[in-house]
Amino acid sequence: MLQKKEVLSLEGKVAVITGAASGIGLGTAQLLSAYGAKVAMLDVNEKGEEEAQKIREAGRTALFFKCDVTSIHEIKKTVHEIIGNFKKIDILFNNAGVTVRKTVVDLEESEWDFVMDVGLKGTYLMSKFVIPIMAEAGGGSIINTGSGWGMKGGDKAAVYCAMKGGIVNLTRAMAIDHGVQNIRVNSVNPGDTNTSMLKEEGRQLGCEEMAFLKDSAKGRPLERLGLPEDIANAVLFLASDLSSWITGSALVVDGGGIA
């Protein structure tokens, strides 16, 4: 007979979150810390320190590390600092990402490189240095932020679709390679979520903000935009023991947008 288990507790766990100064990354840092995890918040935006302080003021444990995830040297240094403070890493949320809303014809090479480097290369580099630490400790959970547009195409978002598609399939490859080390690797794939990044997309496309947000919610069965907490809830599930036999999956969290 199955019994109720308190498997959502992250007490004693250490979670590393990239892109943690705002949006989905910040919401996830807040939620995982609420469930007992000590969180290391990485971002190039120093606003992350203010947000980490707010988490500490709530009686939780959070440290901010300014880190450019496109730089192998900064990542190596930051991971070393995280281990110096927390001694281990149990959860890695590769969430940092940017977008440029253009077709391949209009896209500049530098814009392609920027989007690919932050999202796809950043996921690779963080995983490169964290996986050996997890393996030595007996396992862990890695969650990568993909997108609904990593599983289907979207208009004027060529590099974003390519980058997110790469993350979705990189996730599967990592799951195959590192399952033997008891490391689970999954992607969470949001639809349009009400964050500063979504509003920036509207500006790039020359749209009025409220009209763009309203249009982004249109056509979804649940008829609303996502919130950072919606995505954070999915990350919590994939980080917890509730998902102990789930790896290589692509969990779509988009209000039914690609149903």
Q: Which residues are catalytic?
A: 160
Quickly list DSSP for 90-116.
-EEEE---------TTT--HHHHHHHH
Contact 62, 33 (CB under 8 A): yes
One-letter amino acid for residue 128 of the chain: K
Q: 């995982």: which residue's tokens?
A: 32
Measured from the Cβ of residue 93, the count of other Cβ atoms closer than 10 Å reads: 29
Taking Cα atoms as reference points, which of 25, 89, 98 lies closest to residue 55?
Answer: 25
Taking Cα atoms as reference points, which of 17, 25, 182, 184 lies closest to residue 86?
Answer: 17
